[in-house]
A and B are shown apart, each in its own frame.
Chain A
Amino acid sequence: GAGVSQSPSNKVTEKGKDVELRCDPISGHTALYWYRQRLGQGLEFLIYFQGNSAPDKSGLPSDRFSAERTGESVSTLTIQRTQQEDSAVYLCASSLAAERSDTQYFGPGTRLTVL
């Protein structure tokens, strides 16, 4: 079956502009995660959604970052007034549920470059 998909695959934007990144999880997966990987650094958690529960936003680095999820399907990560330090690969992952023992399946990522 189809895996996790993300769009766009690459995004170049100017400092100060807003960007929207999209994630389509695997069908039937109730948990969805956003992670970020800056160049030369490890992965860092941003936010996760589990069903209809309130999302865990504890990893969002500033109030310029927000994310939404429609039911148990598509999620969008929005970055307002982008800064150069926002340049990174943004990865989405989904899992069947939000159990600690569930495998997370990763999308290909969106490479964001802020000029």
Chain B
Amino acid sequence: KNEVEQSPQNLTAQEGEFITINCSYSVGISALHWLQQHPGGGIVSLFMLSSGKKKHGRLIATINIQEKHSSLHITASHPRDSAVYICAVPLLASGSRLTFGEGTQLTVNP
């Protein structure tokens, strides 16, 4: 079992739909990162959160430390949101190095 699991692996949506991507982890963490990987391969850090909720534009990330679960939401999705979304955690036993989920491939159709 992976220490970080994401679901779904693939997600196809119509423009305007509300998107939810989930991340579960099995060990203690101090913070969780959501990353976006563009089709060309570049990675951008979207959020780093350790509790509650953060919002940036149409993106919202939530985390429940007790339940070891985080969600990334995209409101009013747009084709330019199409990318791979990756959940990553610095496991407490491994310092600050990140352990990554397998990623969720999101495709938003016009």
Contact = CB atoms under 8 A, between A and B. Distances in A.
Nearest to B84: A42
Interface residues of B, number: 26
A59 to B, nearest CB: 7
A99 B95 CA distance: 8
Interface residues of A, number: 30
Interface of B: 29-31, 33, 35, 41-45, 48, 50, 86, 88, 90, 92, 94-103
A108 B102 CA distance: 19
A45 B44 contact: no
Contacts of A89: 41
B97 A56 contact: yes
B86 to A, nearest CB: 7
Nearest to B101: A42
A45 B97 contact: yes
B100 A43 contact: yes
Interface string A93-115: 10100111111111011010000
Given A42-B86, A42-B103, A43-B88, A91 B95 contact: no
B86 A108 contact: no
Interface string A16-54: 000000000000000101010100011111001010000
A56 B95 contact: yes
B4 to A, nearest CB: 9
A104 B103 contact: no
A65 B12 CA distance: 38
